[in-house]
Amino acid sequence: MLRKEVQVERPSRWDVPLDDQLTSALVDRMLQIPPFSRMDADRFPASCPLRGILQNDTRIVSCKPGDLIVREGDYGNSAFMLITGTVVVTLDPLPAELIGRPKQQRWRKFIKLLRHLRRPRFAEVRQAIHDATTRLGQRHNGAQTQLFLQDVPGILNRHRTLQIRPGEFFGEIAALARTQRTASVIATHPAQLLEIRWQGLRDLMKYAPKLRQHIEELYRQNSLSTHLRQTPLFAQLDKAQLKRVCEATQFETFGNFEWNQPYQKLQQASINERIAAEPMIAEEGNTPNGLILIRNGFARRSEACGVSHRTVSYLGKGQAFGLEELYHQWKTGEAASLRHSLRAVGYVDVLRIPTDLVEQLVFQRMPAAERTKLEKATENWQRAPANNIATSVAKPHQASCAELPTSMLEFIVDQRLMNGTQTMVIHLDRCTRCDDCVRACSDAHDNNPRFVRDGVVFNRQMFASACMHCTDPVCMIGCPTGAIARDESSGAIVIQDLTCIGCSTCANSCPYQAIRMVPIRDGKGQLIVDEQVQSPLLKATKCDLCNDLLGGPVCQRACPHDALARIDLTKPDELAQWIAR
Amino acid sequence: MSSFRIRRYRNSLGTATLLLCFVAYLSWCQQHLIDTRLDTGYLLYGCVIVLLAFHWRKRLSFLPLGKASTWMQFHIYTGLAALPIYLAHAGFQLPQGRLELVLSSLFTLTFVSGIVGLYVTRTYPQRLTNASQQVLFDQIPAAQHLVAQQARQLVLQLVQEPGTTTLARFYQERLHTYFEQPRGWRFTLRPGIQTRRALMSQLTSIQRYFSAREQVAGDQMFQLIRQKDDLDYQQALQTILRGWLYLHISLSYSLFVVGAVHGALALNFAGGAQ
């Protein structure tokens, strides 16, 4: 019998380098300059050498005066180090129009509304292809698209800036924590930068402790206090106390940053296998080692049940784990073990705050109402033991999970639906399949609906294939023009049609298949094609929560049977309340 | 108590109160020998316009005109209230004359279709959800075609081997029509599992004649019969869910037009024959 197999080399991490034009000579040159010259190459393992990281995870970016290297509000997956030249970081937010994100006036929305009265005969008709009003320029450099600002001296005169010195890093926090860039960085003179993708930066931090300390220090100085201040537990602390917490906080990272790819593969595995594959952050039965705060991503809170684990709830950004146990310890003086395990779902960044600080600064200053809540919760431990299968399936596990049963929570976690802040949920027992929602969406969006009334179904609820406006919008990573961005006022992820160049990066990145590439037409219904290659011009389309219309998402307003709602699944109680109407 | 139940009680109470006011007004007019036919006519035609406005609101869904579900509630209770208003307007008598007969027939049909629609929209979605798979209405014919193709392929593969004709004969005699043809209006109006059960029972009874290969194919055929039946069931329910609405809207517009004619004539001759 013939053996039908083909032998190939196993794919490896650096098969596709960030820049295949990067020469060994350039890498040698980089190894001569700080901070790489100060790194001990022997600390790097053979599988991940320092030279390999520089060769494969970095590229040299040459900028001209006016180039916008980092734009505030964008999501990025790389950090930069200045090699030569001058770049500045803006300390004040730049006007939205200047960086290509015009804010829509209310009267403009009204005009747009009137325009809908005249329904176009064809789908996806565009009156303009390029944005003639933008003050942001685009320059194509091979496969790369570089944005540049006009009138840089004027901008520098009107806004406070800080010059970045050669050897300094920027953009590392947003790249590592997958948060929005908080400031813009502009080249004022010709500059050369080293761009490092997050995978490389992560390894550099792992094997070069000084770099890790440096980046963690930067985060501690610039962002941690803001993050803690937004967390209700630490909101009442004064500056000095907050500083103490910041200094003692430890940073930990679990899971895979590019969670969207393994998640799709893991769908084939059983629920037990999937839970077992998730990296453990804290294990049930262990003594709590500080308070865990979720900085980014999601974590599954589970309890042992038979040979597997049962999902109790999921935690997102700003939520704490181990608080009840620590409180019990502090109050009674008895050692308490963790009642649940915490596992990373995809990728999670956590902050660990030492127990003694939580006791001194949080519990002692906690308002009486909060204390009563915690006391009640710990009292309930005795009444409803963690391993009681009947109570945990039928009754709520915690106040935030209202009535959602374990199976529903597990479904939401497994499908990564807890990422959605505006998930379209359809109650199938009320939905008459009339498609009024689809028709309304089509009427509001160029005769082409921005969602499909189809999707995963669980417990008579359909989670439709519509953009969920995720808390962790992986679609925004890698957009070359920043066309896809979060609208500051509504929080919706919106695509600027005139800025979109149709590269499909966002559509390929979206793990929920909520972005579709569509060919565009002119007013006569003719396809608009690229004059060079004669292929149709594509635009990325997705639900924009009817951002340019008055009154909110039309799909929800159009449903006559109260069957459709946009629900924030980062808070499971919202879904529970909606189901229990 | 669920929010829907509270809403139902609140809206019913509101409608009942308004109707009581209406009855009180009628009795007051009766006591004072005031002719109320014009008043009730205006009110009734106003109700028709309000009821039709829901359809116009649906067409202008992009305008901020409030939630369609709120409009729906208003539509239901206005529609229900229209019946006593109509009876009062018609003087609790059967219509006389052709136009009045057409008009009252249209009103009755529109009202009945609305009630049927209310029942259908409240019960059919659950039945649809209970079905094994959720298929979009537009995609059902393609899915049916695929199932029919799979059944045909299954049989064609089987007959290539000698001595495996039993299932093929059964397919030819019974299953071919079932897979290839639509189920007809009776099934659409009252979808049931009788046909599927009968076919499965027949298939079970002839299984003892099957060869080993046919046994395997027979199991697959059971699956396909179930799939086809599920698709037909979905199609029937969704056809009713869509069909009643088209009927209801057509009747409503007819009522609107004929009502306008009736109103114009009534106003023209309001003073009596000259």
Taking alpha carbons only, the member of B200, B114, B183, B118 closest to residue B144 is: B183
pLDDT of A2 above 80? no
Do B136 and A562 make contact, defined as CB atoms within 8 angstroms?
no
Do A439 and B61 make contact, defined as CB atoms within 8 angstroms?
yes
Do A581 and B4 make contact, defined as CB atoms within 8 angstroms?
yes
Report the chain B residue with the minimal C-alpha distance to residue A430.
B125
The correct CATH number of A209-408 out of 3.10.580.10, 2.60.120.10, 2.60.40.420, 3.40.50.1370 is: 2.60.120.10
pLDDT in tens, B109-161: 999 999 999 999 999 999 999 987 889 999 999 999 999 999 999 999 988 88
List of chain B residues whose C-beta atoms are within 8 Å of the C-beta of residue A113: 62-64
Find the CB nearest B129 among A443, A460, A562: A460
Do B61 and A434 make contact, defined as CB atoms within 8 angstroms?
no
ipTM of model: 0.90
pLDDT of A440 above 60? yes
Q: For the structural domain made of A20-94+159-205, what CATH number should be given?
A: 2.60.120.10
Closest-CA distance of chain A to residue B227, Å:
18
DSSP code string of A167-217:
T-EESHHHHHHT-B--S-EEESS-EEEEEEEHHHHHHHHHH-HHHHHHHHH
Find the CB nearest A453 among B62, B71, B136: B136
Report the chain B residue with the minimal C-alpha distance to residue A548.
B62
**Residue scoring higher pLDDT (A478 or A427):** A427
A contact residues 487-546, partner B, Cβ 8 Å cutoff: 546
Report the chain A residue with the minimal C-alpha distance to residue B243.
A434
Question: What pLDDT sits at residue A392?
Answer: 47
Question: What pLDDT sits at residue A497?
Answer: 86
Q: How does residue A122 score in pLDDT terms, banded at 50, 70 and 90?
A: confident
The bridge status of strand A493-495 relative to strand A484-486 is antiparallel
Query: Domain ranges in chain A?
Result: 20-94+159-205, 209-408, 415-580
Cβ within 8 Å of residue A253, ≥6 positions away: A202, A347, A348, A349, A350
List of chain B residues whose C-beta atoms are within 8 Å of the C-beta of residue A444: 61-62
Q: What percent of chain B has pLDDT above 90? A: 78
pLDDT of A396 above 50? no
Across residues A541-551, what is the average pLDDT?
A: 90
Lowest mean pLDDT among A141-150, A352-361, B71-80: A141-150
User: Which helix (H) or strand (E) element contains residue A406?
Assistant: helix A406-414
pLDDT in tens, A214-247: 888 888 877 788 788 878 888 888 888 888 999 8
Do A428 and B245 make contact, defined as CB atoms within 8 angstroms?
no
Closest-CA distance of chain B to residue A110, Å:
9
Report the chain A residue with the minimal C-alpha distance to residue B4.
A581
**CATH architecture entry for A415-580:** 2-Layer Sandwich (3.30)
Q: Provide the 3-class DSSP secondary structure of residue B209.
A: helix
Do B2 and A549 make contact, defined as CB atoms within 8 angstroms?
no
Fold agreement between A20-94+159-205 and A415-580: no
Q: What percent of chain A has pLDDT above 90? A: 29
The residues that bridge with A494 in the sheet, in sequence order, are: A485
Rounded CA separation A445/A558 (Å): 14
